[in-house]
Amino acid sequence: MANALTWITFLLCIVTFVRLFTYQRRGAKFRRDVSVMATIVMMACLTTCVEIVTGQFVVQPAAWPMIVIHGVLAIGLLKTRGNLAPVLRGS
């Protein structure tokens, strides 16, 4: 049975995946390294969601810092409208 931390992780993964998947450059410079990183993050989020739904992944209570980090990533992506470059750069 999944706990609340697991479902919070699920929601953060969905938000992160959707925000990265729907990103539109609108004149921003194409950077292959950031594009590859965004693809890796989307794959990790999608895999995590599938594993949570199938019951293969349950977040342990001691792993709450991971959820905080994922929350910061999700908020950063929402603020930058899905642009991963400023989130990685920190500006």
Position 90 in a domain: no
Position 49 in a domain: yes
Position 39 in a domain: yes
Position 14 in a domain: yes
Position 65 in a domain: yes
What's the pLDDT score for residue 38?
Answer: 95
What is each CA distance from 4 to 39, 60, 66, 88, 91, in whole angstroms? 27, 10, 14, 28, 32
What's the pLDDT score for residue 9?
Answer: 97
What's the pLDDT score for residue 1?
Answer: 53
* 8 A C-beta contact, residue 19 and residue 77: yes
Taking all residues of the chain, what is their mean pLDDT, rounded to a whole number? Answer: 93
- Whether the model pTM is above 0.85: yes
* 8 A C-beta contact, residue 73 and residue 87: yes
The boundaries of the domain holding residue 21 are 4-84
What is each CA distance from 34 to 6, 56, 87, in whole angstroms? 28, 30, 10
Q: What is the mean pLDDT of the segment spanning 54-81?
A: 95
Domain count, the chain: 1
Tens of pLDDT, residues 16-56:
999 999 999 888 888 899 999 999 999 999 999 999 999 99
Q: Is the pLDDT of residue 91 over 70?
A: no
Position 9 in a domain: yes
